[in-house]
């Protein structure tokens, strides 16, 4: 009876470890895809007028 319990325990532990690793892998890939989509669709939060970096700072006017 003792060896059967070890076999059943080993099978249950194997299933548990398999699904734990599978869940971590699946959620990691899902998170990567979400980050890629958010990074691609997001704009610069500092850029209020939509003109890009060049409109943030005024041009230096060199007068003589």
Q: Is the pLDDT assigned to residue 8 strictly greater than 90?
A: yes
Q: pLDDT digits over 35-60, tens only?
A: 887 766 666 666 666 666 665 566 66
Q: 21 with 28: CB under 8 angstroms?
A: no
State the maximum Cα–Cα separation within the chain, in Å, rounded to a whole number: 99
Encoded tokens for 64: 């003589």
Q: Hey, which of 5-14, 26-35, 44-53 has the most confident mean pLDDT?
A: 5-14
Instruction: Mention every residue, 6+ apart, whose C-beta is less than 8 A from residue 47.
Output: 53, 56
Question: Cα(37)–Cα(34) distance, rounded to whole angstroms?
Answer: 5
Report the percentage of the chain scoring pLDDT > 90. 45
Per-residue pLDDT at 41 = 65
Per-residue pLDDT at 35 = 83
């Amino acid at each position: 009876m003792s060896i059967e319990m070890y076999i059943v325990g080993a099978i249950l532990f194997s299933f548990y470890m398999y699904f734990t690793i599978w869940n971590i892998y699946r959620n990691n890939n899902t998170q990567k895809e979400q980050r890629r989509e958010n990074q691609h669709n997001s704009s610069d939060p500092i850029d209020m007028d939509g003109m890009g970096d060049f409109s943030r700072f005024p041009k230096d006017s060199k007068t003589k």
